[in-house]
Amino acid sequence: MARAAKNGLRLAKPWGDSSRYDVVVETGGHFVSVQVKSTANRQPNGGYVCGVPPCPGSELYKRGDFDFLAAYVIPEDVWFIIPAGVIVCRKKTSVTLYANNLASDWAVYREAWNLLRDYRCRMTDGVRPKYCPSV
């Protein structure tokens, strides 16, 4: 995730392959777990389908497995930083990402590196950020 480092994020990769996430991001003394996926699977409508399950045939992710999905659209060189709650609560098996369609469901997460930088999933002044899944 060289793009994450270019955006000022500090990354670490867990040892081995037993975690349900691929990297952790250190932000303000806290660690955020990130599942990384990529796609080059372009559909006739211009969207790119990105599979979300850990691997074909495995069970879907559940709450607490990771904090964010970082989905990379390879041909467009675009990242989508999507809160895990959006993926897990909807039981998504795939997301269709549009690199240039600002009206798409996922457009708000396009290059949203600030979500990783500003992430706090604890109550701060009694207000929970809208992108944090409820506890």
CATH number at residue 23: 3.40.1350.10
Is 128 within the bounds of a domain?
no
Q: How many domains, the chain?
A: 1
Is 134 within the bounds of a domain?
no
What's the pTM value of the predicted model, to 2 decimals?
A: 0.81
Is 132 within the bounds of a domain?
no
Is 123 within the bounds of a domain?
no
**Res. 127: pLDDT tops 90:** no
- Tally of CB atoms within 10 A around 1: 18
Q: Looking at per-residue confidence, does 135 or 94 come out higher?
A: 94
**Res. 132: pLDDT tops 50:** no
Is 125 within the bounds of a domain?
no
123 — pLDDT class (breaks 50, 70, 90)? very low
Is 92 within the bounds of a domain?
yes
Q: Which range is most confident: 12-16, 22-26, 32-36, 58-62?
A: 32-36
- Region 81-88 average pLDDT: 89
Instruction: DSSP letter for 128, please.
Output: -
Is 30 within the bounds of a domain?
yes
* Boundaries of domain holding 113: 2-117
How far is residue 69 from each of residues 19, 44, 86, 112, 127, measured CA to CA in Å?
14, 24, 9, 11, 23
Tell the burial category of 81 from Cβ atoms under 10 Å away from its Cβ (0-12, 13-18, 19+). buried
79 — pLDDT class (breaks 50, 70, 90)? very high
Rg (C-alpha) for the chain, rounded Å, is: 15
52 — pLDDT class (breaks 50, 70, 90)? confident
Is 36 within the bounds of a domain?
yes
